[in-house]
Chains A and B, each alone.
Chain A
Amino acid sequence: MKAVRFALRSFGRELRSGEVVVLLLSVALAVAALTAVGFLTDRIGKSVARQANEVLAADIRLRSPEPIPLQWRQAAEAHNLRTAETQTFPSVIFAGDESSLTTVKGVSEEYPLRGHVRISDRLFTEQYEVDRIPEPGTVWADGALMARLGISVGDAVSVGEVDLKVAAVLTYRPDQSIGFASLAPSILVNLADMPRTGLINEGSRVGYALLVAGEEDAVNAFYAAVEKSLPDSVRVRNREDSSGRAGAAADRAERFLSLTAVISVLLSAVAIAMSARRFAHRRMDTVALMKSLGASQRFIITAASVQIVLLGVLGVIIGCVVGFSAERLITSMLADLFQSDLPDPGLAPVALGSAAALILVIGFALPALVQLRNTPPLRVLRHDAIPPPPSRIFVAGSSLLAVAALLYSIIGDGLMLVIVLGGMLVISGCLYIVGRGLVVLIGRSRGGVGIAWRYGLANVARRGRDSAVQIVAFGLGLTVLLLLTFVRTELLESWQQSLDEDAPNQFLINIQPQERDSIAAIFEAAGITAPGFVPLVRARMSTINGEDVKTREYPAEDGRWMANREANLSWATTLGDSNELIEGEWWEPDYQGPPLVSVEEDAALEMGVGLGDQLNFMIAGQEVELTISSLRRINWNSFQPNFFMVLSPGALDDYPVTFVASLKIDKQQKDVLLTLVRAHPTVSVIDLDAILEQVRSIIDKASLAVQAVFVFTLAAGIAVLFAAVQSTIDERRFESAMLRALGVRRRTVLAGVLTEFAALGFAAGLLASAGASILAFIIAVNLFELEYNFSPALWFAGLLGGTVLVCVSGFLAARGAINAPPIDVLRAA
């Protein structure tokens, strides 16, 4: 009790004296990083969970490229199940001169069977749930779409051949994609209006779906009854496999972000250990005094523990507030990527943050406290009497245990824990060795000019271990920031540069054979060369060399997907510009023999097929047998319409065909697209520029959010620097006083200190630039198959950023030592 009273009494003063601020902030930083990520993933997780039960807007969904046969619906109703129907297709819709590619979703009265649609009366006003669908003649439109078209509620949009009034803003529908918005915003239309649009005809890309919901047994019985009669083209989804996928994605995001936060936490732990050492050291005099006044060891350890716990609690509070605000900031940056408002976060992250703070404080500060307990009371008379240092095994063991406990709470898997922990130990070991190497190099260059230079560099070399830790800690924070800042922009640029200047930026799909002439005429009238029309027939592979594609073994999982998906087949007389023949021979332009097929090389590899193999396809109910006659390599970056399977001429003559075309249209010529889509409403125009712009904006925002998490890493690096400087502050104060007493000017001492931190910062920048470049190289070459160009800007930013940041932080941390009057310091020593 006495010890607690003593601890409480002196705590406020300790806090005001600034001595414990670094320790406090290190704890707060760790908690902030964890809770920011925790709150974010908690909200996303809740959102996923909330949607899991309604993600299909039904219990089971049958989706087909053909209209839903009446008997399926009757079968469902026979099982006492509720049903609804939807029709979905992409289309360009108009409002005045503005247009946008849109997902048009027609729904029947009963939609949705699970969950609720939410709308608002105007943009950015309160949303509410409704149990109805848009009245005939009206639509509900996504806010993003309304913004893009520049319309508000009450305005009309042209959907194909009809004008429909926007009656409300669609803020949420249960079966929207979870988390991130799809590229095309959607409008909800009354199913009764769909035929009037004129957009539903032979060959148009409509997805028809039957939604079914009811008692679980009845749903299963219904599915068992219809399963046999379902054609291959029907895709069936039930609740489990839908929510499972979204859940898995959310889990992966959570793990990635948590591990990101862990880097900050570990750096904070280093800062905690350093400043706890200082905390203990500063208290040795007081502890010796207390002991001389008769305080027991228990009193000492209780008082110190109470203060550490108070610091921890304060750190948790500050950290939670910062983490909560950071999360708000991150979600506001991501706001338009989420289709609906995220639910409020729970308190679980606070618990995680508190537990982490406790673990860190115990694991990293305890050894210092235990040492404090053993301070000899003799120290009141003899200042050189210090307690024996805590055993290395104890220090290493307790911190390793703390890290393991922390990681386990995040990873929750023993084997993964061992792998991650081992990886971290190896990486930090390597980084530390590099850091030590840099310190040695710095020490070697001290022969240079002037006392300030020599004094500064000598300081780096003398505190070799701490210097290396600082370089690594700071370098790590800088690496991740550099990586995100430069790599994302440079990767995108590098990719765009690799594209042909004249690469098409507009795709036209779903062109009926009879529309070709009229479309060509529209372009020619506008002074644009008419595009080539490439035929396309939709088909499904049935067998490979007589083996059923469903049951066959594939060398790669992608091969299975490739064989089982709905394929787009085309034919050609000559080999396309962006194609290169790798194996086999191309057919003669006037070839008329049995149907041949040329397969893209990767597709062939993944499916495990080669020259002479037989591929059978089902097209509109008929089987076609193809022999592989050649393999091709495709330059996908050409942006020409290309196909995995290209057939010999005549092979597809008897089947329903549509055409696609691609062309380059300058901004000022874009009006022609309006004319085109008005004249041919079923043709879909895909504006690649707009999609690229949107992809770029999504990547920008997502990486900005991740960057926000990494700012904690940099801050933790700064905390390590502060802790390191603080642990040497007495020494620095004395040295500076000595030098000044010997006649060295204050300016020179300052220059020495700045040299020291500039050297540390430069080394950290070097480490970070090299690290970021290597990672960027790996990402560019292995992940994106792009050429990686050496980036002078990255190195410039890394070296300059590192030097300036460390110089400024170091100066702030050490300025007290430089400015103290020499006489006070020397007298006190």
Chain B
Amino acid sequence: MSNNSPAAAAVLAAVNVTKVVTSPEGDLTILSDISFSVEKGASIAVVGPSGAGKSTLLALLAGLDLPTSGKVWLDGHCLTDLDEDGRAAARARSVGFVFQAFHLVPSLNALENVMLPLELADKDAPRDRAMTILAQVGLQDRWSHYPAQLSGGEKQRVAIARAFAAEPAVLFADEPTGNLDARTGDKIMNIMFELNNNRSTTLVLVTHDTTLAERCDREIGLDAGLLVTDSRAVA
């Protein structure tokens, strides 16, 4: 594959990405030569059994970690060429996260948690924007509550509001319903897909849940570090 043009044109691209970690038992290949790209506004599910390398791929795509070889392109920038602060700046501009464990800042209230990425990305009127999006996830009355005072579903709604607040190009979601009961999980996913459609954000969803994966435009299957299925390639 030629290096620049197709990868750079997509909002997100992995080019021959390999991740090897050193362990006491010797080198361990977590991901092996993964390449794919995602267009703007698409939703893509990364599926596969435990240990397949899903979370590692997510970490590499978001620039949280660096591949052993290969390149990652995000919103026009080659993440693998940037230093840590450069990657952080790219995330501030272009990335939102929803985690399985919610990861809210415990010392900030719901509103302040949502304002955080807006402020990091130097957006105007962070408070008003945060209030607006909190209202969209149905938490306008609970903006002053601290994470400890919210239920699991509420926490995840705050996390979703936070993820969409800065209008990122790409939203990464790592098992977003993993810590929630089925009913709450459904509700959360509805909110997420709705926001995704309204804002034409690109969604990368790591999940075990096949019904959840089916709601995405495209499904990528990993097994033992190899890209084994790609629904678009099949179609």
Contact = CB atoms under 8 A, between A and B. Distances in A.
Contacts of A290: 105, 116, 120
B97 interface: yes
B108 A2 contact: no
Interface stretch (B55-63, B133-141, B195-203, B222-230): B55-63
Interface stretch (B3-11, B33-41, B82-90): B82-90
A536 B73 CA distance: 107
Contacts of B92: 293-295
A292 B97 contact: yes
A579 interface: no
B41 to A, nearest CB: 22
Interface stretch (A6-14, A399-407, A540-548): A6-14
A498 interface: no
Contacts of A377: 64-65, 84, 88
Nearest to A5: B119
A682 B149 CA distance: 86
Contact of A10 (B89, B99, B105, B162): B105
A341 B52 CA distance: 80
Interface string A277-319: 0000000011001111111111100000000000000000000
B92 to A, nearest CB: 2
Interface in A1-39: 2, 5-6, 9-11, 13-14, 17
A381 B99 CA distance: 8
Contact of A381 (B58, B91, B120): B58
A294 B116 CA distance: 10
A289 B92 CA distance: 12
Given A294-B121, A296-B88, A381-B58, A13 B65 contact: no
Contacts of B85: 296-298
A378 B59 contact: yes
B117 A293 contact: yes
Contact of B103 (A10, A285, A298): A285
Contacts of A293: 91-92, 97, 116-117, 120, 162
A380 interface: yes
B88, B89, B91: residue with the most chain A Cβ atoms closer than 10 Å:
B88
Contacts of B84: 291, 297, 377
A382 interface: yes
A376 interface: yes
Contact of A13 (B58, B103, B108): B108
Interface residues of B, number: 32
B63 to A, nearest CB: 8
A289 B93 CA distance: 15
Nearest to A827: B179
Contacts of B107: 10-11, 13-14, 17, 286
Contacts of A2: 119-120, 122
A811 B210 CA distance: 49
Contacts of B219: none
Contacts, number: 84
Nearest to A293: B117
A469 B213 CA distance: 54
Interface string B48-72: 0000000100110010110000000
A90 B8 CA distance: 103
Interface string B156-177: 0000001000000000001000
B55 A294 contact: no
Contacts of B108: 9-10, 13
Contacts of A5: 119
B86 to A, nearest CB: 9
B169 to A, nearest CB: 13
B93 A292 contact: no
B235 to A, nearest CB: 30
Given A13-B146, A295-B92, A378 B64 contact: yes
Contact of A291 (B58, B88, B119): B88
B65 A376 contact: yes
Contacts of B62: 292
The range of chain A's interface size is 20 to 34
Contacts of A382: 55, 59
Contacts of B89: 294, 296
A290 B89 CA distance: 11
A381 B146 contact: no
Given A10-B107, A377-B64, A381-B174, A294 B95 contact: yes
Nearest to A307: B107
A381 B88 contact: no
Contacts of B55: 381-382
B112 interface: yes
Contacts of B117: 293-294
Given A285-B103, A381-B59, A294 B64 contact: no
B120 A295 contact: yes
Contacts of A297: 84-85, 88
A753 B103 CA distance: 32
Nearest to A382: B55
B119 A6 contact: yes
A286 B104 CA distance: 8
Contacts of A6: 116, 119
Contacts of B59: 378, 381-382
A289 B103 contact: yes
Contacts of A10: 105, 107-108, 112
A376 B108 CA distance: 22
Interface string A349-388: 0000000000000000000000000001110111000000
B145 to A, nearest CB: 12
Contacts of B103: 285, 289, 380
Contact of A380 (B64, B88, B106, B120): B64
A294 to B, nearest CB: 2
Contact of B97 (A14, A298, A380): A380
Given A2-B119, A17-B107, A294-B117, A381 B64 contact: yes
Contacts of B65: 376-378
A422 to B, nearest CB: 42
B120 A294 contact: yes
28 contacts: A2-B119, A5-B119, A6-B116, A9-B112, A10-B105, A11-B107, A13-B106, A13-B107, A17-B107, A285-B103, A289-B103, A289-B105, A292-B91, A293-B97, A294-B89, A294-B95, A294-B121, A296-B88, A297-B88, A376-B64, A377-B64, A377-B65, A377-B88, A378-B64, A380-B97, A381-B55, A381-B58, A382-B55
Interface of B: 55, 58-59, 62, 64-65, 84-85, 88-93, 95, 97, 99, 103, 105-108, 112, 116-117, 119-122, 146, 162, 174
Given A13-B106, A381-B59, 11 more contacts: A2-B119, A10-B107, A13-B107, A292-B97, A293-B91, A293-B116, A294-B91, A376-B64, A378-B65, A380-B97, A381-B55
Interface of A: 2, 5-6, 9-11, 13-14, 17, 285-286, 289-299, 376-378, 380-382
The 3 closest A-B pairs by CB, nearest first: A294-B92, A10-B107, A13-B107
